[in-house]
Chains A and B, each alone.
Chain A
Amino acid sequence: MILSKESQDFLENLRLYLVSSGKNESESEEIISELEDHLYEAEKSGKNVEDIVGRSPKDYMEQVAGEMTFDRKGIMKYGGIIIVLAFSYLLLGDVVRGGIELSLLEALGYPLIFISFTLLTAGLFRHLASSKKNKTKEWTLIGIVGMTPILLFLGLIYLNKVIGTPSVTFSFAANVITVIATITVFVITALWIKSLVTIMIPALLYLPEVLLGFTNYGEETQLLASTIIMFGGLFIYLLLMGRKDVNKTGAL
């Protein structure tokens, strides 16, 4: 016998809720497998998930989360890596487009945008995991949260033009060092998470532009070709990744 769809959904939502509340992963897995065991036994005697967790899954998730410790070390680790990755990716883009020129406003603004976006996303996931399903509302919220960093980035670019803050222009050597440093970051994270994704995404985004720069094609042809290769490459890569994931879950 396997668990009912409702119980499985509840456990999945609980996992999402605990992870986006910053709870320790192994502690979360422990309580989830314990509840899974309970639900399994309870369903054998004809009870359903509502009999176990009560009428409000949200209240129950809050109760469980309230008794668990906030995984500060884990959050700092992952948060730090995300910020370093995002910064590497932005800086590499700057180098490709002719060299880094970083103002104080940008140096402070970018991390702030990453952090606020991460917090917003975590809040969104908590909400999606614990609230009753309502497709229109869900997609509206996802849209708003998805748009926020774009708006913030545009705002930052605009402010950067209007307000002059001290800025540094990287020398040729500094640019080269930055490229080496960012590529090292991408490779190390790829090894660490055992996935090529942190290498493939920047490679697909920037390599076509760089390589085509060495050719004799006109600027417009270059731009067009690099855009097509970039989007085509990303599309194919994500498609392949998606298929791999499906195979993985299918095998389980």
Chain B
Amino acid sequence: MSSSQILKGILEGCLLSIIGKGETYGYEMIEKLNDYGFSMVKEGSIYPLLLRMKKEGLVATHQKPLPSGGPKRKYYTLTETGEKELIEFKQRWDAVSTSVDRLLEEEG
């Protein structure tokens, strides 16, 4: 199983968490993901995901002009539904990661 397959379901939760830390835009999300070690995430792949998250009402967007005066930039914030989803993701992730850790440690 490649890491991109494992990531598929997790990435949405990670984006919720990043956006939950304060409004942000696409490129900055990728930089933050990289800072946390997610170098396996293909940069462009977050956009189809963000489109879906917006459709599901998890995130809201607004345009802001750049300080340099260039074209407008699209910023994301969490909606109430998004915040609830983030809490649920954390719980689900805790359960999964503890179980996986426990299982793999035994093998060690």
Q: Are B43 and A67 in contact (CB under 8 A)?
A: no
Asked if A97 is an interface residue, CB under 8 A from chain B, the answer is no
Number of A-B contacts (CB under 8 A): 51
Residue count of chain B within 8 Å CB distance of chain A: 18
Q: In the complex, how many angstroms separate the beta carbon of A10 from the nearest chain B beta carbon?
A: 10
Taken together as a complex, chains A and B put the C-alpha atoms of A53 and B51 apart, in Å, by 15
Query: What range describes how many residues of A lie at the interface?
Result: 20 to 34
A34 contact set on B, CB distance < 8 A: 26, 47, 74
Residues of A within 8 A of B (CB): 30-31, 33-38, 41-42, 47, 51-54, 60, 63-64, 66-69
Q: Are A60 and B44 in contact (CB under 8 A)?
A: yes
Q: Are A31 and B51 in contact (CB under 8 A)?
A: yes
Q: What 8 pairs across the A-B complex have the smallest Cβ distances?
A: A67-B51, A53-B44, A41-B27, A63-B48, A52-B44, A52-B43, A67-B48, A67-B52
Q: Are B71 and A36 in contact (CB under 8 A)?
A: yes
B72 contact set on A, CB distance < 8 A: 33
Q: In the complex, how many angstroms separate the beta carbon of A43 from the nearest chain B beta carbon?
A: 11
Asked if B89 is an interface residue, CB under 8 A from chain A, the answer is no
A41 contact set on B, CB distance < 8 A: 27
Taken together as a complex, chains A and B put the C-alpha atoms of A64 and B50 apart, in Å, by 10
